[in-house]
Amino acid sequence: MFIPQASDWEASIVAAITEELDQLKYLIEDESGSTEKGDIHAQISRVCGLTDLAQNDAVPFAASARLQIRELNEMAMGMIRNTLDLTPVSDEPLQSFEREAAQGLFDAIALNIPQLAQGEARKYAIALSTNAFEELREYMGEHPDFEMMEQLVLVQDYRVMKLAGDNR
């Protein structure tokens, strides 16, 4: 079976994942006392965010690149299983339906980032109520793309949104 070689953009993603994995290993092995559990959790989120790309069939990875990313993911998961107590940062149990809703909203916004980033040229915007955005932040705030997304989404008080009405 012929497996085509990865392109430059695929090799760049694999290289970025490898760098993030090296950073995770550094944080796990750090004995200086300056690394906090939250630092490690954030790094795990970055690694997982990148390796999750291999699970998305819409991203046109060559089979070889997809395999490399999955292998890097397995390395990360093995490292995590062998060295960490992965209790949640928060003691409150997360309700799965709220997390799933936040993930769905996050994914919908992420798919529109190219249009949102073009601002006035595309006249494309997404507005969320302050409450909706805070729930999104609660569940997705540690995602590596959240900070960029935060800059592109209009956040308004619900009462202001209601006063503005339907402007179609």
CA of residue 125 relative to chain centroid, distance: 21
| Residue that the structure tokens 């799933």 belong to | 100
Q: Is residue 3 part of a domain?
A: no
In tens digits, the chain (168 residues) has pLDDT values of 444 455 888 889 999 999 999 999 998 888 888 888 888 888 888 888 888 888 888 888 888 888 999 999 899 888 888 775 545 555 454 467 788 888 888 888 888 777 777 777 777 777 788 888 888 888 888 888 788 778 888 787 777 667 766 655
**pTM (predicted TM-score):** 0.47
Last residue of a domain, one of 83, 118, 146: 83
For residue 159, what are the domain limits? Answer: 96-164
User: Are 42 and 78 in a shared domain?
Assistant: yes
Pairing of strands 154-156, 127-129: parallel
Gap between the Cα atoms of 76 and 54, Å rounded: 14
Residue 131 to residue 147: CA distance in whole angstroms: 17
For residue 48, give the 3-state DSSP assignment. Answer: helix
The number of folded domains in the chain is 2
